[in-house]
Structure 1
Amino acid sequence: MSDRLPGFATLAVHAGAQPDPTTGARATPIYQTTSFVFNDADHAASLFGLQAFGNIYTRIGNPTNAVLEERVAALEGGTAALAVASGHAAQVVVLQQLMQPGDEFIAARKLYGGSINQFTHAFKSFGWNVVWADPDDIASFERAVTPRTKAIFIESIANPAGSITDIEAISTVARKAGVPLIVDNTLASPYLIRPIDHGADIVVHSLTKFLGGHGNSLGGIIVDAGTFDWSAGGKYPMLSEPRPEYHGIRLQETFGNFAFAIACRVLGLRDLGPALSPFNAFMILTGIETLPLRMQKHCDNAKAVAEFLATHPAVSAVNYAGLPGDRYNALQRKYAPKGAGAVFTFSLKGGYDAGVSLVSKLQLFSHLANVGDTRSLVIHPASTTHSQLDDAAKIKSGAGPDVVRLSVGIEDKEDLIADLDQALRA
């Protein structure tokens, strides 16, 4: 190839992959093995001592997974990545490198309900404390910073409402506080938004959603932007201090701009163990090959559906950043000019009961707890994904009792609109 930098669609098909050197197979093989043979004793020792790169055990790394990691890192503009078993696993592994008992991290209130639950309850057992801020009020992030703050966590496009977050403004707060900005880019995918270009230091995904795209495989990934100095201020000893399990290596000093990805692998994945199956990595790689085609169709369909709902008499409000009158439309045009994504919410005049009724009457939309599938999906968050929250918290997170969430697929938009119309009329 020439010196030209590959475009997004080319990277989605080719990044990280070569024909198999042994068989010539063009598709990335599934290396369905638990472990790998060492060349000799010295080779084994160098691998275990982080003096050489290579395969040891699939819990720590696998050649199929490595192609996936390199591909997503390329699409996001990062220096390295680590694939794990789920999006939730990615969040645990990331924060394990940053947090000590008693430390705090700031999180945007508008998040996936499972993340709110994980941050509020599960992380308490680690002594990690979440402080909530309002992504519509950047000053609330500044007010939340304390000497114990170790990170800021946001979603680029928030689940479930589909609102767009001002990444650059919050990045400025993180820089001033001397902490990394972590961006969950699941709903946008790098096709719509590349958070690293706007100041993110770490990007996470649920690979289960738009990157895999077909609702058949769980996975998560962590992308290291290579932009943060982990040795500054002594805040992050996991990266800046000698690691006794690796003969005193300082990860920041040894691995430079991909030290965080290495830490996640050799300190997080190694010990916590949320390894991604090579088969799932293969399935997700296959999905990524069509990511730009699917995402554009998702966005085009979602806009058409949102425009239809905005005029329906049973609907009181539509929250879709792609609509000209939406409060997030300016941010959408800045951060995601190719489209506002495929996940959004709308409110029904009939309230909670109308939402529960609607999801049972839809025929083409599948009622289930997922997003980012080729198929169109629907859920009533207040009775499902956000049911653990009280009503006030549901409303703050964009999942009030009258709210229905759609994940618009790649079917014919006319069929999707017809299905919604018959269910709303019923």
Structure 2
Amino acid sequence: MSDRLPGFSTLAVHAGAQPDPTTGARATPIYQTTSFVFNDADHAASLFGLQAFGNIYTRIGNPTNAVLEERVAALEGGTAALAVASGHAAQVVVLQQLLQPGDEFIAARKLYGGSINQFTHAFKSFGWNVVWADPDDIGSFERAVTPRTKAIFIESIANPAGSITDIEAISTVARKAGVPLIVDNTLASPYLIRPIDHGADIVVHSLTKFLGGHGNSLGGIIVDAGTFDWSIGGKYPMLSEPRPEYHGIRLQETFGNFAFAIACRVLGLRDLGPALSPFNAFMILTGIETLPLRMQKHCDNAKAVAEFLAGHPAAASVSYAGLPSDKYNQLARKYAPRGAGAVFTFSLKGGYDAGVSLVSKLQLFSHLANVGDTRSLVIHPASTTHSQLDDAAKVKSGAGPDVVRLSIGIEDKEDLIADLEQALGA
């Protein structure tokens, strides 16, 4: 190619990949091995000492995974990436590099229920404390900042309601506080929103969702924007201070604008161990090749279904940012002009019982705890994904008792609407 920068669809197919040099295989091979042979003793020592790049052990890195990492980094506009076993694993590995016991991070209140649970309960055992802020009130993030604050965490499109977060405004708060902004971009994918373009320093995904896209493989990924100065005020010793396990290397000095991705690999993944299977990496890579096609179909279908529900007498309200009447429509136009995503919620006039009943009557929609599948999915969050929250917290997170969450697939929209119509009528 010329000096022209490849477009998104081209990167989705080609970024990070080359024909296999040994066999000529065009598809990225699955390197299903635990470990790799060293050239000699000096080569082994240089790899273990971070003096050379290469493969040691699949828990730390693998050639199949490396193609996935380079591809997602290219799609997100980052400097480097690290693939791990799940989206939850990505969040643990990211925050392990940033937080010491007693430290705090600020999180948007509108998050996936599993993240709320992880932040509220599991992270307490590490001595990491979450402080909640309201993404509809940017001032609440500013008010939450303390000397112990080490990061801000948001979702670009919030799960379950599909609300759009004002990334640039919260990025301004993070810059003023001198902390990195972490954005979970799972529901948007880089096809709809690239958070780094709007001030994010770190992007995470559950690869299980739209990037993989077929509901068959777990995975997570961390993307380093390469934009944050980790030497600020000695706040981030994992990156700025000498690492005794690597003969005193300072990761930021040595690796520059991809130091955070390296830290996640050689300090987080190495010791915590949530490695992604090369087979799963292969499956997710295959899914990413059709990401632009799928995401556009997801969005077009979702808008049609949301419009149908907005006019149905059984629906009390519809929360979909792609509707002109929605409170997040202006933010959707700014951040996601191609479409407002495929996940949204609506509430039923019959309340909790009506929500549970609807889920049981749908036939084409699959009732399960996932989003981002080619198939359309449905769940009642208050009784499942957000059931650990009290009623007030459910409402604040967008998962009130009368709310049903839909993840719209790539089927014919007329069939999806017909299934909803029969279930609502029943």
Task: Specify the TM-score bucket, using the shorter chain as the normaliser.
Answer: over 0.9
CA distance in 1, matches of 2:183, 2:406: 22
SS in 2 for 1:16: coil
**TM-score, length of structure 2 as denominator length:** 1.00
SS in 2 for 1:363: coil
**Superimposed CA distance per residue, residues 249-301 of structure 1 (whole angstroms, 9 cap, x where no aligned partner):** 00000000000000000000000000000000000000000000000000000
SS in 2 for 1:233: helix
SS in 1 for 2:249: coil
CA distance in 1, matches of 2:120, 2:383: 19
Offset of 1:203 from its aligned partner? 0.0
**Superimposed CA distance per residue, residues 322-379 of structure 1 (whole angstroms, 9 cap, x where no aligned partner):** 0000000000000000000000000000000000000000000000000000000000
CA distance in 1, matches of 2:186, 2:198: 16
Offset of 1:236 from its aligned partner? 0.1
Which position in structure 1 is the counterpart of 2:214? 214
CA distance in 1, matches of 2:40, 2:359: 60
CA distance in 2, matches of 1:19, 1:320: 42
Which position in structure 2 is the counterpart of 1:32? 32
CA distance in 2, matches of 1:102, 1:237: 15
CA distance in 2, matches of 1:359, 1:71: 37
1:19-418 equivalence runs, <5 A: 19-418=19-418
**Superimposed CA distance per residue, residues 26-52 of structure 1 (whole angstroms, 9 cap, x where no aligned partner):** 000000000000000000000000000
CA distance in 2, matches of 1:84, 1:166: 27
CA distance in 1, matches of 2:157, 2:122: 24
SS in 2 for 1:317: strand
CA distance in 2, matches of 1:313, 1:334: 31
Offset of 1:408 from its aligned partner? 0.1
CA distance in 1, matches of 2:415, 2:160: 23
Offset of 1:11 from its aligned partner? 0.0
Offset of 1:304 from its aligned partner? 0.1
CA distance in 2, matches of 1:309, 1:135: 26
CA distance in 2, matches of 1:388, 1:353: 18
CA distance in 2, matches of 1:103, 1:425: 51
CA distance in 1, matches of 2:82, 2:422: 44
SS in 2 for 1:405: strand
SS in 1 for 2:151: strand
Offset of 1:317 from its aligned partner? 0.1
SS in 2 for 1:25: coil
Unaligned runs of 5+ in 1: none
CA distance in 2, matches of 1:317, 1:23: 56
CA distance in 2, matches of 1:234, 1:273: 27
CA distance in 1, matches of 2:140, 2:330: 21
Offset of 1:232 from its aligned partner? 1.4
**Superimposed CA distance per residue, residues 117-169 of structure 1 (whole angstroms, 9 cap, x where no aligned partner):** 00000000000000000000000000000000000000000000000000000
CA distance in 2, matches of 1:77, 1:57: 27
CA distance in 1, matches of 2:2, 2:322: 37
SS in 2 for 1:116: helix
**Superimposed CA distance per residue, residues 196-217 of structure 1 (whole angstroms, 9 cap, x where no aligned partner):** 0000000000000000000000
CA distance in 2, matches of 1:202, 1:414: 39
**Superimposed CA distance per residue, residues 157-207 of structure 1 (whole angstroms, 9 cap, x where no aligned partner):** 000000000000000000000000000000000000000000000000000
SS in 1 for 2:298: helix
Percent identity over the alignment is 96
**Superimposed CA distance per residue, residues 231-261 of structure 1 (whole angstroms, 9 cap, x where no aligned partner):** 1110000000000000000000000000000
Offset of 1:59 from its aligned partner? 0.1
CA distance in 2, matches of 1:221, 1:59: 14
SS in 1 for 2:212: coil
- Report how many residues are paired: 426
Unaligned runs of 5+ in 2: none
CA distance in 1, matches of 2:142, 2:425: 46
CA distance in 1, matches of 2:414, 2:120: 41
CA distance in 2, matches of 1:19, 1:231: 40
Structural RMSD (CA): 0.2
**Superimposed CA distance per residue, residues 220-239 of structure 1 (whole angstroms, 9 cap, x where no aligned partner):** 00000000000111000000
CA distance in 1, matches of 2:403, 2:413: 22
**Superimposed CA distance per residue, residues 375-406 of structure 1 (whole angstroms, 9 cap, x where no aligned partner):** 00000000000000000000000000000000
**TM-score, length of structure 1 as denominator length:** 1.00
